[in-house]
């Protein structure tokens, strides 16, 4: 069915005004299946969280620029295809991004600022096809992690903002550019990159939970620079080392004097 839809998409562009208006892959008459691989624009994606790590986005921007310099556009496309985001198809075929926010944000930034990237799309894979659900049923399914109304499965949305406040499903950002930078997420990313903390696959939204833990036990400035991150990293490492195993959501101890590489991630 998807191949037929793509064929119709080609002929609609070829014949110009044959159809009454242009359309994209997200048009609500196209049918999708789990496992479908799609090529979309980053601004067509609906986030499933309020916040992101600007440091992680900046790091991924550097990665993509290096690949472009070394391998050209073909190399960037290959990299993005190997790091596809995961999407759930919602009502009216809205594409809800459940994994891959930072890669998508990095590409969106480069598309705006670097002409070498302006024709590069974001690549995703369909993990759920729920476009037959009503808006109310879809919200419930996203919160519960399934459309049967059962509990016990991981949710597909994280409904807390950068200040730790619970927010409604309807207040989620409508596009990537409306997400909020969280220095707590950046701090967690720095710690994870070096191996001071270890991701727990059985804990949904693990990075957010670690960020919450740090936020409850530390204080950092509203606006962070390199010096502020250096201070915060040292304090976080000390906090992690002294944490009880059952109070911190996934960590392993690393000697502070072996954590210098963490600070080198900050540029």
Neighbours of 23 (CB within 10 A): 16
For position 199, what pLDDT does the model report? 75
The pLDDT confidence band at residue 45, using thresholds 50, 70 and 90, is very high
Could you say which of 145, 180, 215 is where a domain stops?
180
Main-chain phi, psi angles of 68, to 5 degrees = -60, -45
Record the tokens describing residue 50, joined without a space. 């309020």
Position 18 in a domain:
no
**Burial class, 215, CB count within 10 angstroms (exposed 0-12 / middle 13-18 / buried 19+):** middle
- Are residue 218 and residue 115 in the same domain, yes or no? no
The yes-or-no verdict on residue 26 having pLDDT over 80 is: no
Position 65 in a domain:
yes
In 3D space, the residue among 210, 219, 224, 220 whose CA is nearest the CA of residue 54 turns out to be 224
Q: What is the C-alpha to C-alpha distance for residues 93 and 133, in angstroms, rounded to an integer?
A: 10
- Are residue 95 and residue 106 in the same domain, yes or no? yes
- Are residue 135 and residue 247 in the same domain, yes or no? no
For position 151, what pLDDT does the model report? 80
Domain count within the chain = 2
Position 166 in a domain:
yes
Main-chain phi, psi angles of 15, to 5 degrees = -90, 10
- Are residue 36 and residue 166 in the same domain, yes or no? yes
Position 16 in a domain:
no
242 vs 146, more confident: 146
- Are residue 99 and residue 64 in the same domain, yes or no? yes
- Are residue 36 and residue 95 in the same domain, yes or no? yes
The yes-or-no verdict on residue 59 having pLDDT over 90 is: yes
- Are residue 216 and residue 256 in the same domain, yes or no? yes
- Are residue 46 and residue 72 in the same domain, yes or no? yes
pLDDT, average across residues 225-237: 89
Could you say which of 142, 162, 180 is where a domain stops?
180
For position 39, what pLDDT does the model report? 97
114 vs 204, more confident: 114
Beta strand 51-52 pairing with 122-129: unpaired
- Are residue 175 and residue 209 in the same domain, yes or no? no
pLDDT, tens digit, for every residue of 63-114? Answer: 999 999 999 999 999 999 999 999 999 999 999 999 999 999 999 999 999 9
Main-chain phi, psi angles of 66, to 5 degrees = -65, -40
Could you say which of 180, 200, 231 is where a domain stops?
180
The yes-or-no verdict on residue 233 having pLDDT over 70 is: yes
Position 140 in a domain:
yes
Characterise 144 by phi-psi region: left (phi > 0), alpha (psi -120 to 50), beta (else).
alpha
- Are residue 55 and residue 150 in the same domain, yes or no? yes
**Which CATH number covers residue 85?**
3.90.1530.10
Q: What is the C-alpha to C-alpha distance for residues 99 and 121, in angstroms, rounded to an integer?
A: 16
- Are residue 157 and residue 195 in the same domain, yes or no? no
For position 251, what pLDDT does the model report? 58
For position 152, what pLDDT does the model report? 77
Position 9 in a domain:
no
Q: What is the C-alpha to C-alpha distance for residues 8 and 3, in angstroms, rounded to an integer?
A: 9
The pLDDT confidence band at residue 262, using thresholds 50, 70 and 90, is low
pLDDT, average across residues 190-211: 82
The yes-or-no verdict on residue 147 having pLDDT over 70 is: yes
Position 11 in a domain:
no
Position 75 in a domain:
yes
Write down the pTM of the prediction.
0.84
- Are residue 93 and residue 199 in the same domain, yes or no? no
For residue 34, give its domain range: 28-180
Record the tokens describing residue 246, joined without a space. 């059952």
pLDDT, tens digit, for every residue of 148-199? Answer: 888 878 999 999 998 889 999 999 999 999 999 999 999 999 888 877 777 7
């Amino acid at each position: 069915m998807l191949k037929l839809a793509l064929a119709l998409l080609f002929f609609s562009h070829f014949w110009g005004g044959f159809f009454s208006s242009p359309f994209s892959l997200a048009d609500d008459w196209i049918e999708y299946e789990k496992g479908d691989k799609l090529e979309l624009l980053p601004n067509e994606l609906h986030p499933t969280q309020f916040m992101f790590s600007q440091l992680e986005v900046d790091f991924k921007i550097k990665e993509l620029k290096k690949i472009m310099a070394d391998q050209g556009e073909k190399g960037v496309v290959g990299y993005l295809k190997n790091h596809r985001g995961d999407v759930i198809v919602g009502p009216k075929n809205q594409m809800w991004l459940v994994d891959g926010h930072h890669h998508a944000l990095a590409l969106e930034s480069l598309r705006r600022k670097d002409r070498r990237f302006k024709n590069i799309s974001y690549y995703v894979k369909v993990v759920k096809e729920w476009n037959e659900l009503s808006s109310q049923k879809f919200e419930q399914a996203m919160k519960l992690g399934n459309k049967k109304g059962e509990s016990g499965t991981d949710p597909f949305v994280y409904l807390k903002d950068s200040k730790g406040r619970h927010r409604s499903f309807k207040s989620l950002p409508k596009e990537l550019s409306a997400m909020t930078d969280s220095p707590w997420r950046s701090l967690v990313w720095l710690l994870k990159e070096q191996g001071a903390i270890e991701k727990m696959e059985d804990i949904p939204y693990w990075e957010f939970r670690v960020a919450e833990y740090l936020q409850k036990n530390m204080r950092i400035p509203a606006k962070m620079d390199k010096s502020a991150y250096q201070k915060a990293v040292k304090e976080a490492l000390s906090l992690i080392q002294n944490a009880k195993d059952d109070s911190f959501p996934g960590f392993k101890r690393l000697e502070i004097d072996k954590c210098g590489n963490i600070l080198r991630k900050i540029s």
